[in-house]
Amino acid sequence: MITKSQLKKVEEFAEKEYSDLNWMHVCGIRKIAKIISEKENADSSIVDLAVLFHDIAKKDFKREIYHHIEGSKVAEKFLSEIGVGNATIGKVCHCVISHSTPLEYFKEKARKLNLPKSFLPEPKTIEAKVLFDSDMLQQLSPYGITKSLYMNYTTYNFGFVEGFKKTGNTLVNDACKALFTKTAREMAKERIAFLKKFFGWLERCD
């Protein structure tokens, strides 16, 4: 359980810690996660805390591969400092540590670094599955698409056309291929159909 004032402290802390780019991502996920939590009977207060912390350690993209582990440490420390109980902290930390499995990009990076399979644990609880699915779905929103294009061009240096194609491929084929909840799979259908049209258009233009 978490009180209103504890949640407020987490929100204020999180907003300060995130870049505005990632804070928008978090705000979008909170809305999606609320819908999925309700339909999937997940504990929405655990999911909401997990959403707020899940990318909090995503500051240096060179250490991005470790952000699920570092993020769960930040969550554990902050939540215990504001007096949240151990059971809640454990549930939130499981969500955070198991949220970054899906993208091939992460798997490939982990393989190159010789990291064990256990480095990217799968979500086990319904709350962790809701965070995972909401995180992926948010990437298929207009803001998520724009963010991906921006990151591929600036941070990852793919070049404009390559970055555009990579965004399309990741979002259409990769991001939502392994969703855990029925609700998220339903929500993804409309978004993927739109993305296929949008990125398919690229093939018809010069």
Using CB under 5 A, pick the residue from 17, 40, 48, 55 that binds Fe ion: 55
According to the binding rule CB under 5 A, does residue 17 interact with Fe ion? no
Tell me the one-letter amino acid at 203: E
According to the binding rule CB under 5 A, does residue 135 interact with Fe ion? yes
With CB under 5 A as the contact rule, which of the stretches 88-96, 104-112, 130-138, 182-190 interacts with Fe ion?
130-138
- Minimum gap (Å) between residue 85 Cβ and Fe ion: 25
Q: What is the 3-state secondary structure (H, E, C) of the chain?
A: CCCHHHHHHHHHHHHHHCCHHHHHHHHHHHHHHHHHHHHHCCCHHHHHHHHHHHCCCCCCHHHHHHHHHHHHHHHHHHHHHCCCCHHHHHHHHHHHHCCCCCCHHHHHHHHHCCCCHHHCCCCCCHHHHHHHHHHHHHCCCHHHHHHHHHHHHCCCCCCHHHHHHHHHHHHHHHCCCCCCCHHHHHHHHHHHHHHHHHHHHHHHCC
According to the binding rule CB under 5 A, does residue 181 interact with Fe ion? no
With CB under 5 A as the contact rule, which of the stretches 93-101, 143-151, 168-176, 189-197 interacts with Fe ion?
93-101
Specify the residue, 44 or 100, whose C-beta has the smaller distance to Fe ion. 100
According to the binding rule CB under 5 A, does residue 100 interact with Fe ion? yes
With CB under 5 A as the contact rule, which of the stretches 84-92, 119-127, 131-139, 149-157 interacts with Fe ion?
131-139
According to the binding rule CB under 5 A, does residue 64 interact with Fe ion? no
Specify the residue, 86 or 134, whose C-beta has the smaller distance to Fe ion. 134
With CB under 5 A as the contact rule, which of the stretches 42-50, 72-80, 132-140, 179-187 interacts with Fe ion?
132-140
Binding site for Fe ion (CB under 5 A): 55, 100, 135
